Amino acid sequence: MLAPGSLLLGNSGTCYECGHEHGSGDRCLSFHFEPAYMERIVADVPGARTLAFAAPRLPPLPALAPLLAEAEAARDMADADAFEELALRIAGAAVATVCGVTHVRSDPSRRDQKRVAEAVRRIELDAEGPISLPALADGSATSPYHFLRTFRQVAGMTPYQYLLRIRLHRAAVRLRTSNDAISAIAFEAGFNDLSTFNRRFRRVMGETPGRYRGVRQGRN
């Protein structure tokens, strides 16, 4: 029985069947991990010792609720770029919960802080182009899960969130200081389409790009 907020767990090589009596109302997200990739996640979760899940599900838990809500919001916003990081965070949280790991926050090492600082500079230099989490992790010689966890701890946000804020900040500056078309500003800032840019700009800045630009023009 899966209630809202539950996680259905599956091990490599096993099958499952899911069904329901009603025809609408379900809202589900599914993540698939290659066994080798999952092994790396388990290895990077402090205190975790096993890859296999002994139970078929996790019930709704307060500790997981914010993360699952974030994933559903990303789906509703069609924010596909956020799912790479969300998948890692959900997998790590599930492993930690199943293994009974109690999170103990420790200060990042100087080496990890240096790695994050170097990644931040890389993001700022290449913000207009595609930047993937695995590429950033490879550049820091760490696994994606360890890099993501360390980056959040040092920077206070995920690499994708940091990249998104840089792009939106640069776009906002251009909206206020130039008369370039909004679509041109969006594409040059690194967004693939105008609707995605408009949606994310409004979510972060509180108003549409056109209205944001209109404030400047109204003051001139």
The stretch 18-38 carries a mean pLDDT of: 78
Which residue is associated with the tokens 């699952």? 68
Q: What is the pLDDT of residue 25?
A: 63
Q: What is the pLDDT of residue 50?
A: 74
Contact 127, 190 (CB under 8 A): yes
Q: Do 37 and 120 share a domain, yes or no?
A: no
The pLDDT of residue 68 is above 60 = yes
Q: Is residue 176 part of a domain?
A: yes
Contact 148, 112 (CB under 8 A): no
The pLDDT of residue 4 is above 50 = yes
Domain CATH number, residue 185: 1.10.10
Q: Is residue 51 part of a domain?
A: yes
The stretch 197-213 carries a mean pLDDT of: 90
Q: Is residue 68 part of a domain?
A: yes
Q: Do 120 and 198 share a domain, yes or no?
A: no
Looking at the structure of the chain, the number of domains it has is 3
Q: Do 138 and 187 share a domain, yes or no?
A: no
What are the two backbone dihedrals, phi and then psi, of residue 58, each rounded to the nearest 5 degrees?
Answer: -115, 130
For the whole model, what pTM was predicted? Answer: 0.78
Phi-psi region of 204 (alpha: psi -120 to 50; beta: other; left: phi over 0): alpha
| 3-class state of residue 57 by DSSP | strand
The pLDDT of residue 163 is above 90 = yes
Q: Is residue 80 part of a domain?
A: yes
Q: Do 74 and 12 share a domain, yes or no?
A: yes
The stretch 160-172 carries a mean pLDDT of: 93
Contact 65, 56 (CB under 8 A): no
| DSSP 8-state assignment for residue 50 | -
Q: Which two tokens stand for residue 48?
A: 């975790």
Q: Do 117 and 148 share a domain, yes or no?
A: yes
Q: Do 134 and 119 share a domain, yes or no?
A: yes
Could you list the residue range(s) of the whole structural domain that residue 179 is in?
A: 167-209
